[in-house]
Amino acid sequence: MNSTLRQGRRRPAAKVPLGLMIVGAVFALGFLAVNAAIGYVVIDGRLDGQWYDIRDLGIAVEELKVQLDAINDDQPSFLDDIVGQHWMSYAVGALLGAIGILSFIGGALLALIWIERRLIGRMQIRRGPNRVGPYGLLQPVADAVKLIQKEVLMPDGADRILFLLPPAIIFVPMMAAWGPVPWAPQMAYLDINVGVLYLIAVSSLTTLAVFLAGWASNNHYALLGSMRTVAMMISYEIPLSIALLSVVLITGSMQLSEIVQWQADHNLWLAALLPIAMLTYFFSSTAELNRTPNDIAEAESEIVAGFHTEYSGMKFGLFYAVELGNALLVATLVATFFLGGWSLFGLEEWIPGYLILFAKLSAAYFVLVWLRGTLPRFRLDQLMRFAWQYLIPLSLFNLIIVAVEASLLARWDAPGLVSLGLFTIVNWGAAYILFRDWARRIGYQPDAGGPRRAELTQQVGGIEAAHRMGTAT
């Protein structure tokens, strides 16, 4: 027996080595120095608008496209007549953007698996992955290799095509939804003017793949999971859309870059101005994402893994990756819509916008992980009730308030500090009153169901004693 066990003591927790701390500090200082240098050079005006301005990689791509267009004009191609004048710059721009987004998501997914497991480990007073590579950093790689090696099993009686299709098609909406995200002022892959509409449309496509997977698996658990998903998606799309509608109303645009620009211009995050919309959006998103406390579609303790119960190997890996990717997407959208996107009160002049966005989305992602590490799960009917009786009326009230505020904002010529400050106070007051009173209105009683402490007694007995104590039911 180990002598430490004998003494009933624990080994002291391993300390972060000094060398690593120094390396980390050097990196952090270097990061700050580089940023400061970029900021200085840019403000100085010497490199303004040049393609190597790394605050905004979009500028570099634009520069490249201009050059390509020039070449295209010099040497016309026979394709110009068929696909348009500047097809080359479109193709190159699209490829670069797609590769950029793909590599970001791919890298982020691998990192996120590690981060999430480490974080959850910390929350659960254990260490998380720490064996493969330094600090377990290679664990996601090892997992991926394992998943690729594993056999993909198909249940007897499953519809072959429909079974193999969903892991592939579920990837499409997840990737497509990254299009309109503005990473920096010029750095959006698909800066369309109906960005919000596009996002809602694309993200609800996931449901189809999930339903397909559940249906084709020929398994009751999978079917239950997919039915739950569909029920939940239908319910939670509504408060989610209404919450985004209030954002659209107040900023006057459906273009994501415009929404961020509005927040940058007014130096106000929409999370502060629209607390109800923010909370509704966040909660509805967790429902759409199948994450705790709303992970009923793959509720482990009830229906094993829900719609992907029967998937193994990389087919399961794809579902898992999409789930993480969607979580990352929601964190990004929360950061974009409500936390000011790439803007940071003028600091975006100094720090690249995509790094600011990354910091914000990491914060939002941390909240998702935190919820997962803390809360139990709702029941399906409770979630449905919560959506239809609570979130939808609340977000409708919020929409009315915001509509009034938006029309006032259009007519009232007060300085932003006065009008928006006033609206912020009004909205927070409304949020407090609505969240509290609407819960009571739909029948929630904080102290319902009797005391939350067991009765204590010294006297044993049976049913008579129970009646005497008043505890018999």
Partner 1 sequence: MTTATEPYVLNIGPQHPSTHGVFRLRVVMDGERIQDMDMVVGYLHRSMEKLAEERTYTQNIPFTDRADYLAAMSGNLGYCLAVEMLSGVEVPERASYLRVIFAELQRIASHSMANGTFVNDAGAWQTPLMYMFRERERILDLFEMTGGARLTTNYMRIGGVAFDPPPEFFPAIESLVSDLPDRIDEYAELLIDNEILLARSRGVGTITAEDAINGSLSGPMLRGSGVPWDLRKAEPYCVYDRMDFDIPVGRNGDAYDRFLVRLEEVRQSTKIIQQALDALPAGPHKTDTPLALRPEPGEAYGRVEGPRGELGFYVVSDGGSAPFRFHIRAPSLINLSLLREMAIGASLPDAIVALGSVDIVVGEIDR
Partner 2 sequence: MPAGPRQLTGDTVASALSAALPGAVATATAEWVEVEPARILDALRWLHDDAEMDAKQLSNLCAVDRHDRFEVVYHLQSMDRNHQIVVKAVVGEHDDPALPSCYPVYKGALLQEREVYDLMGIRFEGHPDLRRMFLWEGYPGFPLRKDFLQIPDHHPGLPKFPFEEPGVQAR
Q: Give residues in contact with partner 2 (CB under 8 A).
A: 460-465
Q: Measured from the CB atom, is 117 or 266 closer to partner 1?
A: 117
DSSP 167-236: HHHTHHHHHHTTTT-BSSTT-BS---TTHHHHHHHHHTTHHHHHHHHHHHTT-HHHHHHHHHHHHHHHHH
Q: How many residues bind partner 1 (CB under 8 A)?
A: 58
Q: Which letter does DSSP use for residue 386 in this model?
A: I
Residue 157 binds which entry of partner 2, partner 1, none, with Cβ cut-offs from 5 to 8 Å by kind?
A: none
Using CA of residue 77, residue 82, residue 86, residue 87, what is the dihedral sign?
negative
Asked if 379 is part of the footprint of partner 1 (rule: CB under 8 A), the reply reads yes
> Which helix (H) or strand (E) element contains residue 31?
helix 18-44
CB of 222 to partner 1, least distance (A): 12
- Distance CA(109)–CA(315), nearest Å, equals 16
CB of 428 to partner 2, least distance (A): 56
- Residue from 1, 16, 82, 410 binding partner 1 (CB under 8 A): 1
**Nearby residues of 97 by Cβ (< 8 Å), 6 or more positions away:** 61, 189, 190
Residue 106 binds which entry of partner 1, partner 2, none, with Cβ cut-offs from 5 to 8 Å by kind?
A: none
Q: Which stretch binds partner 1 (CB under 8 A): 105-113, 157-165, 380-388, 411-419?
A: 380-388
Q: Measured from the CB atom, is 125 or 460 closer to partner 2?
A: 460
Q: Measured from the CB atom, is 440 or 468 closer to partner 2?
A: 468
CB of 133 to partner 1, least distance (A): 24
- Residue from 48, 265, 300, 349 binding partner 1 (CB under 8 A): 300
- Residue from 50, 103, 382, 407 binding partner 1 (CB under 8 A): 382
CB of 210 to partner 1, least distance (A): 17
Alpha helices per DSSP H over 126-186: 139-149, 160-164, 166-169, 171-176
Q: Which letter does DSSP use for residue 448 in this model?
A: T
- Distance CA(150)–CA(129), nearest Å, equals 21
CB of 459 to partner 2, least distance (A): 10
Q: Measured from the CB atom, is 5 or 13 closer to partner 1?
A: 5
CA 240 to mean position of chain CA atoms: 13
Asked if 124 is part of the footprint of partner 1 (rule: CB under 8 A), the reply reads yes
- Residue from 86, 175, 302, 312 binding partner 1 (CB under 8 A): 302
- Residue from 375, 396, 403, 426 binding partner 1 (CB under 8 A): 375
- Distance CA(287)–CA(300), nearest Å, equals 15
Three-point CA angle 357, 362, 368, nearest 5°: 130
- Distance CA(288)–CA(202), nearest Å, equals 13
DSSP 36-62: HHHHHHHHHTSSTT-TT-TT-HHHHHH
Paired strand residues for 182 = 188
CA nearest to 297, candidates 219, 214, 216: 214
- Distance CA(225)–CA(219), nearest Å, equals 10
- Residue from 210, 341, 372, 391 binding partner 1 (CB under 8 A): 372
CB of 229 to partner 2, least distance (A): 37
CB of 445 to partner 2, least distance (A): 34
Q: Measured from the CB atom, is 301 or 473 closer to partner 2?
A: 473
- Distance CA(109)–CA(255), nearest Å, equals 27
Asked if 304 is part of the footprint of partner 1 (rule: CB under 8 A), the reply reads yes
- Helix, strand, or coil (residue 307): helix
Asked if 473 is part of the footprint of partner 1 (rule: CB under 8 A), the reply reads yes
Which residues of this protein are in contact with partner 1, per CB under 8 A?
Answer: 1, 5-9, 120, 123-126, 220-221, 224, 292-293, 295-296, 299-304, 372-382, 448-463, 465-466, 469-473
